[in-house]
Structure 1
């Protein structure tokens, strides 16, 4: 019979020194999401891998098929140097500003349309 992955996760969390609140902050998951994960019988290995990183637990002991997974491969993490990070930040900042400008244009059009009626 297969192991209930969520129940295993719950038992590992309970044995750890990490509170649900701290786990939530570390993983950037809501507490509700963590409780949902605990209920999932077939919780995705990618999620277990992320939990394992924070909880310092190797879930591949329980699920040998996870041995080939790494955090970097699983989440397609790209390592960027400082200059690349700045360039990426500026790219998304510009996109955000362009979006705000379009939003403002639409608001102005809507205000002008409603005042003309």
Structure 2
């Protein structure tokens, strides 16, 4: 019987109590992509690895045909903070970009209101 990779990954995500939104943000995809992955029978090795890094989970136990324990050595390291730091910086830059666009639109709107009077 074939493994359903998506279901195995989903089980681990939910068992760890990790938010789908946080997971999507961490690997820079939308939530719909995560749910689509959960429905796929086979997932790319890279996708499973990224999710494993975010969850700090060694998927070599569930997928010995894809990974060896050494692949997730960085995940086992308790000082591994790379993904959350990168994502928080990315989120801050993205938020600042949208804030700037919003202020610019408000200024243009105000100018239009003043010129219409």
* TM-score normalised by length of structure 1: 0.55
Partner of 2:6: 6
List per-residue Cα deviations over 1:22-56 (Å, max 9, x = no partner). Answer: 11111111000000000000111111011000011
Partner of 1:83: none
User: Structure 2 stretches of 5 or more lacking a match?
Assistant: 73-117
Partner of 1:33: 33
* TM-score normalised by length of structure 2: 0.55
Moved >2 Å (runs of 4+): 65-71
Q: How does 1:26-65 map to 2 (within 5 A)?
A: 26-65=26-65
**Distance across 2 between alignment mates of 1:7 and 1:47:** 14
List per-residue Cα deviations over 1:83-103 (Å, max 9, x = no partner). Answer: xxxxxxxxxxxxxxxxxxxxx
Q: How does 1:1-117 map to 2 (within 5 A)?
A: 1-67=1-67, 70=71
